[in-house]
A and B are shown apart, each in its own frame.
Chain A
Amino acid sequence: MRKLKKRMITPRTPWSPGPAAWQDDLSPLPSSEWNYDRAAHLLAHAGFGGTPEDLEKFADAGLDRAVEALVHYERLPNPKMQPFVESGFWDPSFDHFPESRPDATDRAEKNGASMGVDVKPAGNRPVQPVSDRFFYWLRATMLETRRLGYWWANRMLQTTHPVEEKMALLWHGHFATHENKVRDYRKMHQQIGLFERYATGNLRDLTIEVAKNPAMLYFLDAQYNVKGAPNENFAREVMELFTMGVGNYTEKDVRECARAFTGWYFDDLAFKVDPDKHDAGSKEFLGRIGSFDGVDILRIIFEQPVTAEFLAAKIYRFLVRDEISPALRRSVGKVLRDADYEVKPLLTAILRSKDFYSAASYGGHIKSPVEHMVAMMKHLGAESMPGVPDFNQSTIALGQHLLNPPSVAGWAGGKAWITPGLLIARGNVARDTLIPDMTGFRDWNFNAGSDNVLGERLRDGYDIGAATALNDPAKMSEFDRVALERDEKFNTRISGYIGWEQAARKLIPTPRDAARFDLTAMVLTSGAKTTAEAVDYLTWRLLRVPAAKETRDALVAFLTNELGTESLDRARTYMEDPLRMTGHLVMSTPEYQIV
């Protein structure tokens, strides 16, 4: 067995929630109050946590330099960030992708082709290639979006700018669009870039960019918002969900706002304005009159004090704790407004404040499933997200499908992240991550689910009619089977299967490796000698809120029993899996879900 470098064990700083009196106090924490535990609190909230080695650096830097390094991250090199490598699904024939399969096939019947694919000149199912093509893109963009989410999760794990990724994740849930409707992974990718670029930039500028973002334009029906027939979808959401909150504008404001955004559209990945479809007339909006366009409208919205409070509270609740008092809401709103909507001064104020380190903020935040998965890898010291279990399947099981928030309102977040079933699922995902089922794993990207049977039947030589029959054609008479085959223009059911097959052929496979980490080395390096010390080290490393004493004692008993000894030195050659089970159990505690 290789020799492990022993580190000097610094005495562990005790858990250090500040006094209740600090709550709602935005004045800076005195530097004398800074310690390792508070650095751990800072990283857990502002980023995705860290290894003790990371945290020691922040502890040594002192509060001001730690916050400075986190918030003004641009100066830090970020060598592990890799561009997203596309599988190569896109080609320009998918531009103006049909709204629906009937739209696709109607177009083809009218024009003889659609999405770059021709209708067959003769024979049964002449429009089948077009129907197949439609489903090919639906499957392709869905599968590629899974890769995109996984790629993004790896960025969250590997970045030296955790605040950038954490805030990008906030904006994704705030300015929520989902690939399910957008149906173009490239637009989702473009949007991640936007959220990273403006992660801690100016919120007014970010909102203007979002209003011009192709994914958002499509998602909120910009194409239907034209002069004379304004569509209020974006106009309503921009005020209700993105900037002010309900109750701060009238229905007339919504209508006038919609008029200002008329003619905004996108051409593939570029923002465009069609002057012929834009209503340049005079509008009355939030008490102001002028021939406003969309940018003017957003500027007026950002003049409203309520906007600063709404957005600052959103940031606060995302980073610090679920509940914010009206007084603190006003205070953070003022900081944001005084900084003309620059986010960095607000983050600096929050992360340095006594409030942030007060008892109410300790354990005041439930990790989202994506945070949970990334933090798990951080805590274990893994350098990349595992392929087994699948990242997307895991977070979906926990209630968060990255790049597919449930609605324009984003994820409810906070307490909604945890239900009895979801809590159990968190423990189950932790087990599958620490002790992955490598031999039982099946890659869902290459599994068409209920459509698999269609492939089996086609490959068994059945006609499309028999292959798509409700009942098993193998159990039918030849007469019945033949009767199932019929003249039709196309068969959408079979297209669902063929589209998946064709997309899967091109898809870059996700490496299906297990998370790479070594708990034996980790625990021995910590200087732990006994099972009790190993449990105390792991709970200290993984938890931000102490677990029940009963759990701690049961963990020690469990580990001792599994190792057959209290001595780690005696058990060093075989203790990896028992330590992993210990890790799974720690990650199953209610305390592990909160920071």
Chain B
Amino acid sequence: MTTKNPWNKINVSRRDMLRLGAGGIGLGLFGGIGPVPPVLAQASRSVTANQSDKILVVFEWFGGNDGLNTIVPYGDPLYYKHRPRIGIQEPDVLKIDAQFGWYKSMRGMKRLYDDGKIAIVHGVGYDRPSFSHFTSISFWHTAAPNSGNEYGWVGRTGANLDPSGVRENMIVNIGESQTLAVKAPKHVPLVFVDPQMFKRAVFAPEKPVLNTLAAAREPVGDTHRYVLEVTKSAAQASEVVRAAWSAYRTKASPDLRLLDLDKVVALIEAGFPTQLYYVPLRGSLFDTHVNQASPHDRQLQYCSDAIGGFFSEMERIGRADDVVMYVHSEFGRRVPENTSLGTDHGTAQVNFVIGNAVKGGMYGKPPSLSELVLGDNLQSTTDFRRVYATLINDWLGADATTVLGEPFETLGMIKSQAAKTRAKA
């Protein structure tokens, strides 16, 4: 080559590179510099011996779900006093007991509940609650209410499960942009919403050049190594995700409406090594300030049908024992209805933990409807980090105290059989 390319004169030799590695900037992270690019080696050992097959799917109902019109306290006359116009009437309740019932459009989840596969957790929240969607969800994402953390609780859980961060696609986030919950100290979460759009915007003649971007080369340092890995992962993941997706589409029933959970099914069926999936609901109708009956009915039905459909898909592919789903919002809603036949931002909410490994039933103390706090709001009775701790410790077998920074009592809703299987693995 006769050009003046300045890069031809790079004065870092391979020996320098090795010395850099010895200097401790992390070049040895993936087992040293060999002829095989680490990311390729990783892909080939994506399922390793000590890897658990337990999967957690977090399905975030952003918008502020009205828990009182979801698990309806139809047995409490105060409920109807607070909600004379929008309270769910007894005939519209799928009864659980003399006090509570599912809202009528939630047949998908009611069926799972009747099969003993759903834990309903009442009164979930935190002290000094924020009424802002964004502030409150950031507290839930970081598990740091009225505080902050650089990383999300799911991202930190990933680091706890796989401290060296070698596992590819450990965390998948179905969303337009990466949610704070999955921001991870060790992993590169795979973030996408439309597998078809998970690709570069290019003009046709540019394509051959783009194909070289992930070409193997010696990184000049730890950061460069990282971006090279991400480049590789972007090139690989976009292919495998698209492959998994098109394979799934040919099998899926056209009647099944899974919201974004269909992508999770596709990846699980394709054998992705992902243990942590995070799916924030898109196009949420949960922020029901106005005329809430119709949108809330519709939203609950969509979500409940999607969850029912998701678990029937898990049965179909034989992975139902390996998956637990967790459903939460950023807050519940004000107890009394407002003047627009809706409800405003509130505090405590109802959560769901779902799966074959779950001991179905009701957990947590239902908040009182007579002793309201903070301007007509529910007093939370269960810190949300107790639910997180339950999922982290009892389901995933990680260390919740490390992830959450302090110990939280778990809720005991995961079957011990599941825990035992995990211990054996």
Contact = CB atoms under 8 A, between A and B. Distances in A.
A431 interface: yes
A428 interface: yes
Contact of B3 (A493, A536, A562): A536
A427 to B, nearest CB: 6
A552 interface: yes
Contacts of A539: 5, 7
B224 A545 contact: yes
B150 A420 contact: no
Greatest chain B CB density within 10 A among A246, A399, A490, A591 is at: A591
B177 interface: yes
Given A409-B150, A420-B238, A558-B208, A588 B213 contact: yes
Interface in B278-313: 289-291, 294-295, 298
Interface in A540-586: 540, 545-555, 557-558, 561-562, 581, 584-585
Interface stretch (A61-69, A230-238, A262-270): A230-238
Given A19-B16, A420-B188, A590-B224, A431 B177 contact: no
Interface stretch (A190-198, A340-348, A360-368): A360-368
Contact of B291 (A178, A365, A413, A468): A468
Nearest to B191: A421
Interface in A505-547: 530, 532-533, 536, 539-540, 545-547
Contacts of B3: 530, 532-533, 536
B340 interface: yes
Contacts of A418: 188, 226-227, 230
A458 interface: no
A416 B183 contact: yes
Contacts of B183: 412, 416
Nearest to A240: B147
Interface string A115-131: 00000000000000000
Given A415-B226, A420-B233, A420-B237, A551 B206 contact: no
B166 to A, nearest CB: 15
B146 A236 contact: yes
B40 interface: no
B200 A366 contact: no
Contact of B148 (A399, A408, A468, A584): A408
A298 to B, nearest CB: 19
B149 interface: yes
Given A15-B11, A581-B203, A407 B234 contact: no
B370 interface: no
Contact of A406 (B138, B198, B290, B298): B138
B215 A550 contact: yes
A406 B221 CA distance: 29
A425 B343 CA distance: 38
B213 A551 contact: yes
A208 interface: no
Given A399-B178, A419-B230, A409 B142 contact: yes
A260 to B, nearest CB: 18
Interface string B327-338: 000000010001
Given A102-B344, A412-B183, A492 B215 contact: no
Contact of B5 (A365, A536, A584): A536
Interface in A1-50: 11-17, 19-20, 23
Nearest to B202: A431
B295 to A, nearest CB: 6
Nearest to A397: B177
Contact of A15 (B6, B19, B134): B6
Interface in B1-32: 3-7, 9-12, 16, 19-20, 23-26
A244 B388 CA distance: 28
Interface in B156-177: 177
A408 B139 CA distance: 10
Given A419-B191, A536-B5, A237 B148 contact: yes
Contacts of B148: 237, 240-241, 407-409
Interface string A239-267: 01100001000000000000000000000
B227 to A, nearest CB: 4
B325 to A, nearest CB: 23
B123 interface: no
A360 B20 contact: yes
B340 A488 contact: yes
A323 interface: yes
Greatest chain B CB density within 10 A among A17, A241, A406 is at: A406
Contacts of A533: 3-4
Nearest to A562: B205
A551 B291 CA distance: 57
Contacts of B338: 102
B9 A14 contact: yes
A419 to B, nearest CB: 5
B98 interface: no
B62 to A, nearest CB: 14
A489 B147 contact: no
Contact of B210 (A416, A530, A585, A593): A585
B230 A423 contact: yes
Nearest to B175: A421
Interface string B185-213: 00011111000001111110110111111
Contact of B209 (A322, A530, A558): A558
B215 A548 contact: yes
Interface string A456-491: 000000000000101000000000000000001111
A159 interface: no
A180 interface: yes
Contacts of A530: 3
A532 B184 CA distance: 41
A493 B25 CA distance: 54
A422 B191 contact: yes
Contacts of A321: 223
B131 A365 contact: no
B231 interface: yes
B187 to A, nearest CB: 10
B408 interface: no
Contact of A421 (B146, B198, B203): B198
B191 A412 contact: no
Contacts of B221: 359-360, 362-364
Interface of B: 3-7, 9-12, 16, 19-20, 23-26, 128, 131-132, 134-135, 138, 141-142, 144, 146-151, 177-178, 180, 183-184, 188-192, 198-203, 205-206, 208-213, 215, 217, 220-224, 226-228, 230-231, 233-234, 237-238, 289-291, 294-295, 298, 334, 338-342, 344-345, 405
6 tightest Cβ-Cβ pairs between the two chains A and B: A409-B148, A420-B234, A546-B7, A14-B9, A407-B138, A590-B227
Interface of A: 11-17, 19-20, 23, 99-102, 105, 178, 180-181, 231-233, 236-237, 240-241, 246, 321-323, 325, 359-360, 362-366, 396-397, 399, 406-409, 412-413, 415-416, 418-424, 427-428, 431-432, 435, 468, 470, 488-493, 530, 532-533, 536, 539-540, 545-555, 557-558, 561-562, 581, 584-585, 588-591, 593-594
22 contacts: A14-B9, A14-B10, A15-B10, A101-B344, A360-B221, A406-B180, A407-B138, A412-B151, A415-B223, A419-B178, A421-B198, A427-B200, A488-B339, A492-B290, A532-B3, A551-B209, A551-B212, A554-B208, A554-B212, A558-B208, A581-B206, A594-B227
Given A180-B132, A589-B213, 7 more contacts: A15-B10, A236-B147, A237-B148, A420-B237, A493-B289, A536-B5, A558-B208
